[in-house]
Amino acid sequence: MRPLIDVNNLSYSKEKLIYYSQTTIYAWLLAAIGLFIFAIYSLTNKNTFIVFFLLLPIILFLVYKALKLLKKVNEVQFRINSKGIQYKNEELVPWNNIENERVDTKFYGRSSTDFFIYYIIKPSQVMQFDLNELNTDASELSIALTIHRNRFKKENNIQ
């Protein structure tokens, strides 16, 4: 039986690039527009004039957050390949200096958050990143980590 994750699969890219999710950015903007429309509507009612001023800081925060992410949408957040993992513009950490790379899900009542976690041996540092704002999901990232780790082992004749 053929394994589910095939390290020799040539159709799988040589490198996994992870960016900020455009869906997240547009969701922030859509929420801001919706609240802005509701705030304008509240101005037409004399009794709810205060609602406009209560919603204004929330709207400004949503727009600020979306614009901040929009500036970074084309910046690579993670580069994962057979040589190692690179976070943003930092130096690439080779696979022989990384251990216990994984995607972990933390549950908070009915909701959950996926985290990308790996341990850098030297300088003894745990890296943990929230996947919610990135353009990958837990299963896709897990497969990429497995494939690139195994490619590293194969290229360096490590068992």
**What pTM does this model have?**
0.78
- Separation in Å, CA 65 to CA 69, 71, 81, 105, 144: 6, 10, 30, 24, 29
Domain parsing of the chain, residue ranges: 22-71, 77-155
Question: What are 89's two structure tokens?
Answer: 């513009």
Q: What is the DSSP string of the chain?
A: ---SS-TT-TTS-SEEEE-B-HHHHHHHHHHHHHHHHHHHHHHHSGGGHHHHHHHHHHHHHHHHHHHHHHHTTTS-SEEEETTEEEETTSPPEEGGGEEEEEEEEEEETTEEEEEEEEEETTTTEEEEEE-TTBS--HHHHHHHHHHHHHHHHHHTT--
Write the pLDDT tens digit of every residue in 97-152. Answer: 999 999 999 998 898 899 999 999 989 999 999 998 899 989 899 989 998 998 89
Structure tokens at 119: 């341990």
Residue 68: pLDDT band with limits 50, 70, 90? confident
Q: What average pLDDT does the chain have? A: 86
Q: How confident is the model at residue 8 (pLDDT cuts 50, 70, 90)?
A: low
